[in-house]
Structure 1
Amino acid sequence: MTDVDASAAERQSGTSRGKQFLRCHLPMVIVAVVIVLAVIFVASDRWRRGALFFGGAALLAAAFRLCLPTARVGLLAVRSKPFDVATLSLLGTLIVLIAATINTLGVG
């Protein structure tokens, strides 16, 4: 094997590892992006919208955990599937309900 072949094989291996990592952790990456958006909203004084995004991220994580096999959800798999789905659903629902029903206190 020449040096050119070895470097091409290394690049191919690195690319396949990156694709494998992304394939396994894509649901967690999507949830993390929604959480970053929520933090941006909260930091820009849009706390209700940010709270809705936080709750939506938890509900999205619950949906991913429910629909995808454990090998595909990556870091979203913490306990058993029923426990994870129930906990994330309850948490997301409560956050969304609190954010949607709290009084704005005269602030838009």
Structure 2
Amino acid sequence: MTRPPLYVRRPFLAGLVRQLPLLAVLVVVASGLLLVTIDHWRVGLVVVGLALVGGALLRLLLPVRRVGFLAVRSRLTDVVLMAGTGVVLTVTALTIPGS
């Protein structure tokens, strides 16, 4: 007899596992925002930008059943918007002259 899949045996746990990519991106974004609040704004914004690029890579590489709420629109739209925003944020933070 085969075991039923995780979403049948433990639907809450299966739902949490499905949202792990989003949770990973949010944890990195939160750490970047924490850096911004303690006056390391350039490094913090670079971390946030790289988190968005990482989220775009997760959206690109993971199948739909594993990506959770990182999938909002079509794959191409999600990847272009997240990666574009992350790159623009990172480049902007790195090109602003230091004080």
Amino-acid identity (%): 35
Aligned Cα root-mean-square deviation (Å) = 1.6
State the TM-score, normalizing by the size of structure 2: 0.86
CA distance in structure 1 between the partners assigned to 2:88 and 2:71 by the alignment: 21
The amino acid of 1:98's aligned partner reads T
Q: Counterparts of 1:20 and 1:47 in 2: how far apart (Å)?
A: 36
Give the residue type in structure 2 aligned to 1:46: H
Cα-to-partner distance string for 1:22-58 (whole Å, 9 max, x where unaligned): 3200100100100110111011011001100110111
Match status 1:91 vs 2:85: yes
| 1:17 shift after superposition | 3.4
Matches within 5 A, 1:75-90: 75-90=69-84
Deviation at 1:66, TM superposition (A): 0.2
- Count, aligned residues: 92
Give TM-score scaled by structure 1 length.
Answer: 0.79
Query: Unaligned 5+ residue runs, structure 1?
Result: 1-14
Unaligned runs of 5+ in 2: 1-8
Higher Rg of the two aligned structures:
1
1:43 aligned residue (21, 37, 51): 37
After superposition, what is the alpha-carbon deviation per residue over 1:66-90, rounded to whole angstroms, capped at 9, x for unaligned? Answer: 0001111111111000010011111
